[in-house]
Amino acid sequence: MDTGISRRGLFGAGAAAASILAGVPVASAAPAPSQMTLRWWGNNGWEIRAGTKTILIDPWLTRFKTGTYTPAGADPRTPLSVDRALIDHHLDHGDLRADHILVTHGHYDHLADVPYLAKRTGATVIGTETHLSLMAALGAPEDQLAIATGGEDLTFDGYSIRVLRSLHSATGSRAQVPFPGTRPLSRRDRPRVIEDLVEGGTLAYLVSGGGASVLDLGGSNYVEAELAGLRPDVLLVPPGGAKVTDYVPRLLRTLGHPRYVAATHWDDFDLPLGQVKDAGGLEPLRKAVTAASPASRFVVLDHLGSFTP
Ligand SMILES: [Zn+2]
Condensed to tens digits (0 to 9), the pLDDT of residues 268-302 reads 999 999 999 999 999 999 999 999 999 999 999 99
**% of residues, the chain, pLDDT over 70:** 89
**pLDDT: which is higher, 262 or 16:** 262
| Rounded Cα gap, residues 138 and 192, in angstroms | 9
Mean pLDDT of 210-229: 96
**How far does residue 221's CA lie from ligand 1's centre (Å)?**
11
The CATH architecture to which 34-307 belongs is 4-Layer Sandwich (3.60)
pLDDT at 5: 56
**How far does residue 220's CA lie from ligand 1's centre (Å)?**
9
Q: Cα angle vertex 301, ends 157, 79, to 5°?
A: 85
pLDDT at 165: 98
Contact indicator for 276, 267 with CB cutoff of 8 Å: yes
Q: Cα angle vertex 46, ends 93, 230, to 5°?
A: 150
Mean pLDDT of the chain: 91
**How far does residue 108's CA lie from ligand 1's centre (Å)?**
8
**How far does residue 219's CA lie from ligand 1's centre (Å)?**
7
| Rounded Cα gap, residues 309 and 132, in angstroms | 31
| Rounded Cα gap, residues 186 and 218, in angstroms | 25
**How far does residue 105's CA lie from ligand 1's centre (Å)?**
7
Based on its alpha-carbon atoms, the radius of gyration of the chain, rounded to whole angstroms, reads 18
**How far does residue 181's CA lie from ligand 1's centre (Å)?**
12
76-to-1, 5, 26, 190, 233 alpha-carbon distances in Å: 45, 38, 49, 16, 37
**How far does residue 7's CA lie from ligand 1's centre (Å)?**
30
DSSP three-state, residue 220: coil
pLDDT at 218: 84
